[in-house]
Structure 1
Amino acid sequence: MLPENSLSTVLNARTKGHGTETIVFAHGYGTDQSIWDKITPFFVENYNVVLFDWSFSGAVKDKSLYDSMKYSSFEAFADDLVTLLGQMELENVTFVGHSMSGMIGCIASIKSPHLFKRLILLGASPRMRC
């Protein structure tokens, strides 16, 4: 059991499904994990599905968690992703990143390649500032 103030708890991380492989879905700016609600039912029979909300999401209750100075680059988000996966004891995941989360996943996979099996980038732009 993770502590009440762990990153996975404050970012509303949850796992559902059954399988030997894990898919992590990360939403883009201006949304929350509910953006994946229509597609995750197709994965839960064969995969462990992980969903979470970024600190800027309106679904995160602790508004003090988001610090605009800290999160002025994708590096801090990538550090959060690495920490989140570590706390959840996940490795070798398929990471699905929408928009800015795609770029965050790229940075995190460079920092900790053992955590990622593959990256799936949806609408991620290489021109985003890091």
Structure 2
Amino acid sequence: MESPTLTAHNVNVVGTGDELIILGHGFGTDQSVWKHVLPHLLDDYCIILFDNMGAGTTNPEHFSFQRYFTLHNYADDLLSILDELEVQSCIYVEHSVAGMVGCLASIEYLNDANYFGGFEQEDLNQLFLAMQSNFKAWVSGFTPLVVGPDIQSPAVQEFARTLFNIWPDIAFSVAKTIFQSDLSLISDY
């Protein structure tokens, strides 16, 4: 029987290779974002695909606004998936915020007093207000900003589709967690 963790995150294991790759998706998408890359990996790798909690393909009843207020709990979910599948070593390929989730899952971080993030709080407040007041209009404006200006392109249309799969209140909560997280990594080299 499949575990509740694997079921909740729609975990899929595909491919015939010996080397293991985990594909982590970013905000507004789900594991389907990898559909054009996946065929190129199937013969050489064993691939683990999963959906972060809050993606439109996950059960909204499993989403906890309190739990997913920080990226640390997304990292905990990733580690739980790895534990369930008894993964000892892997390659982690990510998109967008999944990169930070992977970093948090693999190392400890420190904030650097000299690091300045890319967003002003007022800009974020406007983004959050737009999401809450008219989610459909926000998605229509946000997708070409992130993917590219051609709103008819398949990539823009695909991102819009996966964003629309997310319940608006969950999308708002996840976006707020992502954009309010200002972490930098310090290394010794």
- TM-score range with shorter-chain normalisation? 0.7 to 0.9
Aligned 8 A contact 1:18 1:47 in 2: yes
**Which structure: greater strand fraction?**
1
- Which of structure 1's runs of 4+ aligned residues deviate more than 4 A? none
Partner of 1:123 in structure 2?
none
1:53 to 51, 54, 79: 51
1:91 to 66, 84, 88: 88
Structure 1: segments with no counterpart, 5+ residues: 112-126
**Which structure: greater helix fraction?**
2
Matches within 5 A, 1:114-129: 128-129=181-182
The alignment yields a C-alpha RMSD, in angstroms, of: 1.8
For these two proteins, the number of residue pairs brought into alignment is 113
- The CA deviation string for residues 16-56 of structure 1, in whole angstroms up to 9 with x for no partner, is 11111110001001001000000011011010011111111
Structure 2: segments with no counterpart, 5+ residues: 109-179, 184-189
Structure 2 SS opposite 1:77: helix
1:14 aligns with 2:43: no
Structure 2 SS opposite 1:31: coil
2:63 to 37, 62, 66: 66
Inter-partner Cα distance in structure 2 for 1:47 and 1:28 = 21
* Amino acid of the structure 2 residue aligned with 1:108: A
Inter-partner Cα distance in structure 1 for 2:182 and 2:30 = 21
Structure 1 SS opposite 2:107: helix
Inter-partner Cα distance in structure 1 for 2:88 and 2:38 = 20
Report the identity percentage. Answer: 34
